Amino acid sequence: MSGSNVSYEGASNQVETSIEIQLTNRDRKTVFFRGLLVFPAVVYIASFTQSFEVGASFGGLLFAPALLALLVRGVYPSYVLSFNKAMLELNARISAYALLLTDEYPSIEANPNIKVELPEIDGGAKLSRVLPLVKWLFAIPLYIVGIVYVVIAFVLTFFAWIITSATGNYPESIANFVLGTIEFWNRIYGYAGILVTDDYPSFTL
C-alpha cells in the first residue's frame, strides 16, 4: 500500500482533519534529513506569530478578533474564519511533513491531500457569545492530555525515522497514532483556539 487516506471520523461539530499518509516507497534520503529540510517551513509559519503578536496563538491563528466579534456582535467574521482555516491546514501540512507522514514538501498554498474541515457555524449564530471567555480554562485538561500525546508521538516518530530511513517503509501503527495526535490538537484549536465549536472535544485519539 503506497498510501492511506485516513481522516478523523468524529462528530461533525468538531474540526476534522484528513491527511493522505505515504507508508511505502519512501524517499529515505529526505526522511533522514527531515529535521533540516523542514526548518524553512517552520520559520515561515513562525513569521505569522511574530506578525500578529496580539490575537495570535500557535501558527498565527487569530483568537482575539474571533472572540471580540462573538462577544460584542454575536458573529464570526468570514475573513477571520477563512484565515484560521488556511492556517490550520498550513500547520497540518508542516506537521505531516515534519513527523514523516509524507514526503511531499509542505506548500504555502492548499493541498488536496491534506485538508481541514471546520464545522458549520452559520456566521457565528450557532456559537455561544459568552462561552469563548472561559473555553481556555475548560481546555486545560485537554492541553495536559495533548502534551502527553505529543511526547509519545515524538518518541514514536524517532523510531519511525530509524525504520523508514533504513527500509523506506513507515510503520502504519505509528502513522495512526501520529495522525491521531494532529487531529486531537486540531480539535483543541477548534474549541479553544479559533472558537468554531462549543462542543467539548473527546480526550481520545
**Which pLDDT belongs to residue 64?**
87
Cβ neighbours for 104, distance < 8 A, ≥ 6 positions apart: 22, 97, 111, 113
Within a domain: 125: yes
DSSP string over the chain: ---EEEE----TTS-EEEEEE--SS--HHHHHTHHHHTHHHHHHHHHHHHHT-SSB-GGG-B-HHHHHHHHHHS---HHHHHHHHHHHHHHHHHHHHHTTS-SSPPPSS-BTTEEEEPPP-GGGTTS-SSGGGTHHHHTHHHHHHHHHHHHHHHHHHHHHHHHHHHHS---HHHHHHHHHHHHHHHHHIIIIIS----SPPPS--
Q: Among residues of the chain, what percentage have pLDDT more than 90?
A: 82
Q: What is the pLDDT of residues 186-205, one digit of tens each?
A: 999 999 999 999 999 999 99
7 falls in which pLDDT band (50, 70, 90)? very low
Euclidean distance between CA atoms 51 and 53, whole angstroms:
6
Residue 178 lies in domain: 4-193
Within a domain: 200: no
Within a domain: 198: no
**Mean of the per-residue pLDDT values of the chain:** 89
Within a domain: 204: no
What φ, ψ does residue 115 adopt, rounded to 5°?
Answer: -130, 150
Q: What is the pLDDT of residues 105-162, one digit of tens each?
A: 999 999 999 999 999 999 999 999 999 999 999 999 999 999 999 999 999 999 999 9
Within a domain: 205: no
Within a domain: 95: yes
- Overall domain count for the chain: 1
